[in-house]
A and B are shown apart, each in its own frame.
Chain A
């Protein structure tokens, strides 16, 4: 495998991990939002008090 392929794989795996984790957080927010009756949990600030 050439240096270009190593570079490509390093970036593909890294970017997939970073944005994959961001996606799981987004899904977590949606799931929690459904439990509280809304998908927009930023609109339910009263729970933080």
Chain B
């Protein structure tokens, strides 16, 4: 059974790597070059799936934060911490792919348009989320503060989405694609989504294991007085 679990995890990552290689090959050999924007338009096939999955990771932080405040189980805090780090990574890639697109399409690396500004704010909000976690020594205090912060930080996600519709913006709100381009875009969602789920899952499992080694209570519900069979103690830097 244990061997089966390890095989399933290895299989999952092998499929993710294979799909990633396949969509890159698809991008090079199958996807047509856009007549107006040229080759740089192909940044879009990574940019959009990463953006959607970045929002999904931020939503996971929100759900896990609510879950922690509701149940006081450290399981939810570990999940929120894992999703928070992946949100930072995905937001960084949204910004990086965006600035390369902007430089080629608009002639500037950066402009303070509503969507770009809210995207930068989203990235910074989750960078702060990741940075404040290790600074709080008490596991319970850290979990509560980060849960409240994780809920508030998520409010920026609808702003990123709606900004381009509600305010004048240089960022395109929708793009018409040829059938081959649409197929490529849909194909890119598969490995990027698998990667997001895999990274959150791997980080979450690592957080659980590190919490065990730090002798922190792994579930407040099971040990409401903070006295667990694992022992109690401070742990500052794992999540």
Which A residues lie at the B interface, using CB under 8 A? 2-4, 6-7, 9-11, 13-15, 17-18, 21-22, 25-26, 28-29, 32, 35-36, 40-43, 45, 47-48
B212 lies within 8 A of chain A by Cβ: yes
Contact B93 A17 (CB under 8 A): yes
Residues of chain B within 8 A of A25, CB atoms compared: 199, 202-203, 206
Given that A10-B46, A18-B93, A21-B89 are contacting pairs, would A3 and B38 also be in contact in the complex, using a CB cutoff of 8 Å?
A: yes
Pairs A–B under 8 Å by Cβ, sample size 20: A3-B37, A3-B104, A4-B38, A4-B39, A10-B40, A10-B46, A10-B101, A14-B46, A14-B93, A22-B195, A22-B199, A29-B202, A29-B205, A29-B206, A42-B9, A43-B6, A45-B2, A45-B5, A47-B209, A48-B212
CA distance A29 to B206 in the complex (A): 6
Instruction: Give me 20 other A-B pairs in contact (C-beta within 8 A), A35-B213, A43-B2 excluded.
Output: A4-B38, A6-B101, A6-B103, A7-B39, A7-B42, A9-B100, A14-B93, A15-B20, A21-B199, A22-B195, A22-B198, A25-B203, A26-B202, A29-B206, A32-B210, A42-B5, A43-B6, A45-B2, A45-B5, A47-B212
B116 close to A (CB within 8 Å): no
Question: Which chain B residue has the least Cβ–Cβ distance from A11?
Answer: B46
Query: Which residues on the A side are within 8 Å of B103 (C-beta)?
Result: 6
The reply on B50 being an interface residue by CB < 8 A is yes
Q: Write the chain A residue with the least CB distance to B16.
A: A22
Task: Kindly report which residue of chain A lies nearest to residue B82, judged by CB atoms.
Answer: A25
A32 to B214, CA, bound (A): 12
